[in-house]
Amino acid sequence: MTIPGILDTACQQGFLYAIAVFGIVITLRMLNWPDLTVEGSFTLGAAVLAITLKNGYSPWLAMLLSAMAGFAAGTATFALNRKLGISKILSGILVMLILYSVNLRIMGRANISLLRIPTLFSAFDSSGIGDPVRLAVFLAIAVAFLLGLCYLMATRIGLFLRATGDNEFMVQSHGVNTSLLFLIGLGMSNALVAVSGALVAQNQGFADIGMGTGMIITGIAALIIGETLFSGLVSLKKAFVRRSPDKEFARTKGIHLLPWQSFGELSAALLGAFLYFLIIAICLRVGLAPTDLRLATGILVILGIAFRLKGPTVETYMRGKL
């Protein structure tokens, strides 16, 4: 694979998988709920899309159904935990397990080819539009989701979603039913993951029963890489840019705070997804066997976490230098 080829693969996969990583940010970072349902809902999105397209329906309808199916998967996990009292982790594992059979039932077999079936990306194939335009469209899709979620998190409902993961008790004391917020959060997260699965299936031209396997660790790896790099960039800015008193005053009045709180987390997810697939493409380029990719991913996550916990921060490094 050439360098442009590596970049092309990293961008294509990174931008589409970033939507799933946004979903993982909502559960893992905002709701403080490590949700393993995503392993099944990613494939569920692809399966629902494939079977809907196969039956001759519009790709837009297929995308909508995929999102709804993902939301339903999140609702199932919510119900197991909040209504039956099963732990968060086990609820996710159970739904993931059930979804494997459900996905096979939906697809009827382990793999459905989408070749010669109109998809959202068919225009790129038929009109001969090149990869740069395809990449620009993928980036635009990812950025649209990022901005939409940033807006949502800057609203009151978004603020309460983040507060629920932080201190559920406190949110209840404000008269809010936190169960409803968990339902919204889990449903939305799995809907995003399912939409990502549906987009990936259209891009690669098939839906496969195994395509969601390892999704949670892929998402966490992307998140850790993105957050490590993003926090580094923020510290770098802090090390060089001194805040003026006027800006400090603006900050004390709360100006411009809310919309950017989630922007950092979500941008880190997008950046991390791209970098994760870039690293994977490079690993394959240097001769790593595809079967060793899980090992590489695991090591990557460990290194990312270790660096954040034990490594030097840019601020302390710069303080030593300046």
Which helix (H) or strand (E) segment holds residue 207: the answer is strand 206-208
Residue type, 54: K
Rule CB under 8 A: is residue 177 a binding residue for other proteins? yes
Rule CB under 8 A: is residue 87 a binding residue for other proteins? no
Triad 139, 278, 63: Cα angle to 5°: 40
* Contact with other proteins (CB under 8 A) among 122, 261, 285, 288: 261
Minimum gap (Å) between residue 258 Cβ and other proteins: 5
Tokens 């690293």 belong to residue: 279
Minimum gap (Å) between residue 171 Cβ and other proteins: 7
Rule CB under 8 A: is residue 253 a binding residue for other proteins? yes
Span from 118-126, 146-154, 233-241, 268-276 in contact with other proteins (CB under 8 A): 146-154
Minimum gap (Å) between residue 265 Cβ and other proteins: 11
DSSP string, 7-54: HHHHHHHHHHHHHHHHHHIIIIIIS----TTHHHHHHHHHHHHHHHHH
Span from 122-130, 212-220, 256-264, 302-310 in contact with other proteins (CB under 8 A): 256-264
Tokens 């979500």 belong to residue: 266
Binding residues with other proteins: total (CB under 8 A): 33
Q: Are 306 and 319 in contact (CB under 8 A)?
A: no
Positive/negative CA dihedral, 182, 22, 231, 304: positive
* Contact with other proteins (CB under 8 A) among 64, 86, 176, 236: 176
Q: Alpha-carbon distance 201 to 20, whole Å?
A: 13
Rule CB under 8 A: is residue 254 a binding residue for other proteins? yes
Minimum gap (Å) between residue 26 Cβ and other proteins: 15
Rule CB under 8 A: is residue 242 a binding residue for other proteins? no
**And the tokens for 313?**
């921060």
Span from 87-95, 127-135, 252-260, 289-297 in contact with other proteins (CB under 8 A): 252-260
C-alpha dist (Å) from residue 154 to 173, 255, 260: 21, 13, 8
For residue 9, the tally of other CB atoms under 10 A from its CB is 17
Binding interface with other proteins (CB under 8 A): 151-152, 154-157, 159-160, 162-163, 166-167, 169-178, 181, 251-259, 261
